[in-house]
């Protein structure tokens, strides 16, 4: 039986069951899977490449400039992400 939430009378879902349905178990054997840090690095690199391309074409930059965020702010964030990726690579 599901627990009743403190602010309502409706039962709250079983969080473990919800997590398992959203994130099914990985069928890939551990021996063939890249190490955990590498599994994180590859998607980050792909996202960063896309972000660099969007910044180079100035996609959406004008919307951020209205609020005081410029290209240099993006470049600073990208540098932080690159630092994180380098740290993961060293693990």
- In-domain check, residue 63: yes
Tally of structural domains, the chain:
1
Is the pLDDT at 91 greater than 90? The verdict is no
Q: Within its chain, how far is the Cα of 75 from the centroid?
A: 18
- Residue whose entry in the numeric block shows the structure tokens 């039962």: 11
Q: Which domain holds residue 73?
A: 34-90
Would residue 49 count as lying in a domain? yes
Query: Could you report the per-residue pLDDT of 17-65, keeping only the tens digit for each?
Result: 544 555 556 666 655 656 667 778 889 999 999 999 999 999 999 999 9
Residue 68, pLDDT > 90, answer yes
pLDDT of residue 8: 46
Query: Which of the four pLDDT bands, split at 50, 70 and 90, describes residue 89?
Result: confident
> Would you state the torsion angle of the CA atoms of residues 60, 75, 67, 46, taken in this order, to the nearest 10 degrees?
40
Instruction: Give dist(CA 91, CA 84) in Å, integer.
Output: 11
- Choose among 55, 46, 50: nearest CA to 76: 55
Query: What integer pLDDT is reported at residue 36 of this predicted model?
Result: 66
**Token pair recorded at residue 73:** 């702010």
On whether residue 21 sits in a domain, the answer given is no
């Amino acid at each position: 039986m599901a627990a009743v939430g403190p602010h309502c009378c409706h039962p709250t879902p079983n969080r473990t069951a919800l997590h398992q349905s959203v994130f099914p178990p990985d069928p890939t054997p551990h021996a063939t899977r890249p190490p955990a840090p590498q599994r994180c690095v590859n998607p980050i690199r792909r996202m960063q490449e896309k972000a660099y391309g969007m910044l180079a074409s100035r996609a959406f930059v004008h919307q951020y400039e209205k609020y005081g965020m410029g290209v240099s702010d993006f470049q600073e964030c990208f540098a932080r992400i690159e630092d994180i990726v380098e740290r993961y690579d060293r693990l």
